[in-house]
Structure 1
Amino acid sequence: MSLTFFLYSESNNDHNPGSDIRIGISKWRIWGTLGWHDIRQRYRRSVLGPFWFTLSTAIMVAVLGALYSVLLKQKITDYLPFLAVGLVIWQYIACVANEGCNAYTTSSHLIKQIRLPLTVHVCRTVWRNFVILLHSFPVVVLMLMAFGKWPGIEIFLVPVGMFLLFLNGIWAGVVLGILCARYRDIPPIITNFIQVAFFFTPVMWMPEILEDRGWVANYNPLYHLIEIVRAPLLNRPLQAESWVWTLGLLITGFALAQYLMCRTRNRVPYWL
C-alpha cells in the first residue's frame, strides 16, 4: 500500500475543530507511519542511520564533560552522567520547539490535499524526535555503566516522565504551529529563545552550585521537564514540585492548544 493511499484511507470528514486534538492523537497509525517515513528518508543510504545522532551525542558529552567538569570544579564521575541525561533530553525539547514551529508549514501540501486532523502533523513531528531521543539513550546507559551509577527503584518513574515529555511536546507543537502559521516572525524568536534558555537551564551546570540563587532553576519549567527523567535515572532526590510543574504545564498547555484550535482550525489552511 502506498503512503498516499494509506493517508486517504485513514482520512476523515470530521469538521469539528473542538475534536481535532482528540482525534489527531488517536490517529497513531498515521502519525506513527509518517514519523518513521521521515526518519527513513533522513537517513536513507546511511550505514548507521539515526545512530549517527547517537554517535554525535556521545562525542559532545565526552568533550563537554571533560571540559566543564574542570571549569565548574565538579567530579567527572557525577558530572558526565548528569550532563548526558540533561543534554539528550534538551536536544529533544529544542527540536520539538523548533520543528513544531514549522509543523504545519512543512506539511502544507498534505493539509491542502487530504482532510486530516491538524494535530496529526504535530504528533508526526513529536514522534519523530521522540524516536531520535530513544536512539540517544544508549549514551546515557553507557555513562551510567562506566561510572557505576545504577538507578534504584525510582527507575520505574522514567517511562512516566518520558510519556509526559511526549504529551507536553504535542500541546507545544499545536500552539507553536498555529501561531507560526499565522505570524512568520515567530520561528526565529523561538529559535533564539531556545538558545538563551539553554544557558539558564541546568543542563551543563548543576543547580546546587547556585546556592542561594536556586530560584533560577526552581522557577524554570524546562528544568522540571528534564528533572522528571534525570532524577530517577541518577538517584537524585526528585522533588514533588517537578511533577507539579510538569502536570501544570500539561493541563494549561492543552487548554491553550484547545482554545487556539477551536478558534483557528479552519483558518490554518488559508494561512499556509
Structure 2
Amino acid sequence: MGDAVIDRGKTDLASHDGRDDLIAGLSAVRVWGTLGWHDIRQRYRRSVLGPFWFTLSTAIMVVVLGALYSELLHQDIHEYLPYLAIGLVVWGFISSVANEACSAFIGAGYLIKQIRIPLTVHICRIVWRNFVILLHSLPVVVALIVFLGRSPSIEFLLVPLALFLLFMQGVWLSVVLGVLCTRFRDIQPIVANLIQVAFFFTPVMWSPEVLKSRAWVAQYNPLYHLIELVRAPLMGRPLQWESWAWSIGMLVVGFAFAHLLMRRTRNRVPYWL
C-alpha cells in the first residue's frame, strides 16, 4: 500500500532538491498522512483496542504514579494527576519521535533508492503517526481534568496552536536526527541514552517549584517549555510567555539548521544507506 500511495503522488514530487525538500515534503500531506495512518493500522493489526493500548497504558501509569508521587512530593492529587498525565503524554510523543527519527531514512532505504520523493516525506510520516497516538490520549487527559472538578478556561483555545507547534518541532528535530544518524550510526544509541537521562531532568513528574532556588534548571530546559506549551492551557494556567518564546525561537532556529543540513546532504543520503 505504501508504494502505491507514493506512486500516485510521485509525479508532483519529482522536481525538488535540497533547497526545497522541506517545503515539498511538508506540502505532500496526502502522501505522508496516508503512510503514517497505514503504519498505525499495521502496528495494531488484529488488535481490539489498536492505538488505544497506548492510551490505556498511559492511564494506568498516571493513576499508579500519581497516587504514589503525590504523597512523596506532598502534592494535591487533584492538581498533580492532570499535571502528570499531560507531561507523560507529551513526553511520550517527544521521545518516540526522537528515537524513531534516528532510523527514519535507514528504515525507508528501499524507497529512497527507488523513488525520488522529498526525504521530508519519510520524516513527516514518523511525526504524523506519533502525533495521531498523541491525539488518541489527549481526550482522556481532558476527561480526567473535568472529572477532577476542573472546567476548561479561555486558555484552552491555545491548545490547537500549541499542538501545531509541537508537531513542527518534531519535524525539524527528526530531519536533523535522521540525517546525522544515517551518516554516523553511533549517534542513534547516544540519542536513546540522552532521552532517558533527559526524562529525569525535565519537569514531567515533578514541578520546578520543588527545586526552589534551583528552578532555573527547568527554566533553561527546552523540553520543559515544549511540554508546558500544551500543559499550561489544558490546565487553565495563565499564558506562559517564556514557553511560547522558547518554542517559537527553537522552531525558527531548528528549521534554519534543518534546511541548511538538508541542502548540503540531500543528495548524499542515498549513498549512506
TM-score (norm 2): 0.97
Separation (CA, whole Å) in 1 of partners of 2:68 and 2:2: 47
Q: Kindly provide the CA deviation profile for residues 68-120 of structure 1, in whole angstroms up to 9, marking residues without a partner as x.
A: 11111111111001000111000000001001111111111111111110000
| 2:121 partner letter | V
Deviates more, 1:38-47 or 1:202-211: 202-211
| 1:36 partner letter | W
1:103-114 aligned within 5 A: 103-114=104-115
Is 1:4 the counterpart of 2:3? The answer is yes
Query: What is the RMSD of the two structures over their aligned residues, measured on CA atoms?
Result: 1.0
Matched residue, 2:224 = 223
| 1:63 partner letter | V
Separation (CA, whole Å) in 1 of partners of 2:83 and 2:152: 13
Matched residue, 1:245 = 246
Unpaired runs of 5+ in structure 1?
none
Matched residue, 1:22 = 23
Separation (CA, whole Å) in 1 of partners of 2:30 and 2:139: 26
Separation (CA, whole Å) in 2 of partners of 1:72 and 1:21: 44
Do the aligned residues in 1 keep the contact of 2:202 with 2:221 (CA within 8 Å)?
Answer: yes
Matched residue, 2:255 = 254
Separation (CA, whole Å) in 2 of partners of 1:109 and 1:185: 21
Pairwise CA distance, 1:210:
1.4
Do the aligned residues in 1 keep the contact of 2:22 with 2:118 (CA within 8 Å)?
Answer: yes
Separation (CA, whole Å) in 2 of partners of 1:121 and 1:89: 22
Deviates more, 1:201-210 or 1:157-166: 201-210
- SS of the residue corresponding to residue 18 of structure 1 reads coil
Distance 1:158 1:24, change over 3 A: same
Deviates more, 1:51-60 or 1:146-155: 146-155
Pairwise CA distance, 1:256:
0.5
Matched residue, 1:189 = 190
1:32-181 aligned within 5 A: 32-181=33-182
Pairwise CA distance, 1:15:
4.1
Separation (CA, whole Å) in 2 of partners of 1:21 and 1:6: 19
Deviates more, 1:56-65 or 1:7-16: 7-16
Identity among equivalent pairs (%): 65
Distance 1:15 1:146, change over 3 A: closer
Do the aligned residues in 1 keep the contact of 2:22 with 2:259 (CA within 8 Å)?
Answer: yes
Q: Kindly provide the CA deviation profile for residues 52-77 of structure 1, in whole angstroms up to 9, marking residues without a partner as x.
A: 11100000101110111111111111
Pairwise CA distance, 1:142:
2.7
Deviates more, 1:164-173 or 1:234-243: 234-243
Pairwise CA distance, 1:146:
2.0
Matched residue, 2:200 = 199
TM-score (norm 1): 0.97
Do the aligned residues in 2 keep the contact of 1:228 with 1:238 (CA within 8 Å)?
Answer: no
Separation (CA, whole Å) in 2 of partners of 1:108 and 1:3: 13
Separation (CA, whole Å) in 1 of partners of 2:180 and 2:2: 29
Do the aligned residues in 1 keep the contact of 2:155 with 2:239 (CA within 8 Å)?
Answer: no
Do the aligned residues in 2 keep the contact of 1:90 with 1:226 (CA within 8 Å)?
Answer: yes
Separation (CA, whole Å) in 2 of partners of 1:229 and 1:270: 39
Pairwise CA distance, 1:139:
2.7
Unpaired runs of 5+ in structure 2?
none
Pairwise CA distance, 1:132:
0.3
Tell me the matched-pair count.
Answer: 271
Matched residue, 1:265 = 266
